[in-house]
Structure 1
């Protein structure tokens, strides 16, 4: 929506807060994660640590760069999380035979046990969400979110609007 400013330039009106896509996604994320969080706390696992354990469980033997992409974590954060999980004997790093600088990440028996332990309650949470929200709607939402992610990732990187650059330096 556009409105005219006193200076004659067209100003863009900020969309309503409740229709802000980033805020809507954050609220949805919190609604979903709040269902799982209680089980993670039982094992003293943070959400980011769970993301790593879950990714390594599904994709064993990945390198750190691949794991960072899978978990949407920056490599410095992921390195810290890997160090913490390794210290707790939940995962292990194995050097690759061809290049000792590269490491493959796998779960230990203790890490795999945590994943096995939370799987039944997590699947119950998915069933509860599916019943409450609707199985077809949940599948549609997952499909739409995947399509949105793929579409936005295919766009060129965002560029700072020149008008904003001028305003920021004033």
Structure 2
């Protein structure tokens, strides 16, 4: 006998997809005026926070597949939002850094992004917001032992 599946209203994968859409809707609205995608925003945010990174580390921290980052880097370079250079020691290693133009996009939208985060904290409560992030981190295979 096959075990009964939980109701779709209590299905973790479905709940996560629904929650993602709820979280991303205001971010998509914010990004509509920037000319960059959600994924490009993540790349710029990670570079703004961490500085120059190699492509593998950047892909991991921005939650992107490496081939997707490789394609995206071309677009971001053409837009003047990142620079891409070879490592002086390991010539196979590519390093990516945000440009002042890329940083300007982050800076110009940081207040709105902070308001969006504050809205989530208001909806959930500050403690629940932090607990949710902690619980989601438990499901992140990159953070598990």
Q: Deviations over 1:85-105 (max 9, x none)?
A: 111000011221112221211
Q: CA deviation at 1:72?
A: 1.8
Task: Give the distance between the partners of 1:150 and 1:25, measured in 2 at CA.
Answer: 16
Superposition RMSD in Å: 1.7
Which residue of structure 1 lines up, in the alignment, with residue 134 of structure 2?
143
Does 2:35 align with 1:27?
A: no
Alignment of 1:106-121 (within 5 A): 106-121=97-112
Task: Give the distance between the partners of 1:26 and 1:148, measured in 2 at CA.
Answer: 14
TM-score relative to the length of structure 1: 0.79
Which residue of structure 2 lines up, in the alignment, with residue 53 of structure 1?
44
Alignment of 1:16-165 (within 5 A): 16-149=7-140, 153-154=144-145
Task: Give the distance between the partners of 2:143 and 2:50, measured in 1 at CA.
Answer: 24
Runs of at least 5 residues in structure 1 that lack an aligned partner in the other structure: 1-9, 155-170
Q: CA deviation at 1:149?
A: 2.1
Task: Give the distance between the partners of 2:89 and 2:143, measured in 1 at CA.
Answer: 36
Look at both structures and tell me which one has the larger radius of gyration over its CA atoms: 1
Q: Deviations over 1:109-166 (max 9, x none)?
A: 1000001011011111111221222111111111111123259844xxxxxxxxxxxx
Does 2:5 align with 1:14?
A: yes
Q: Deviations over 1:21-65 (max 9, x none)?
A: 111111111101111111111111111111111111112211111
Runs of at least 5 residues in structure 2 that lack an aligned partner in the other structure: none
Alignment: residue pair count: 145
**Deviation above 6 Å: which 4+ runs of structure 1?**
none
Bigger Cα displacement from structure 2, 104-113 vs 67-76: 67-76
SS in structure 1 of the partner of residue 96 of structure 2: strand
Q: Deviations over 1:9-31 (max 9, x none)?
A: x2222221111111111111110
- CA contact 2:59–2:65 (8 Å) conserved in 1: yes
TM-score relative to the length of structure 2: 0.92
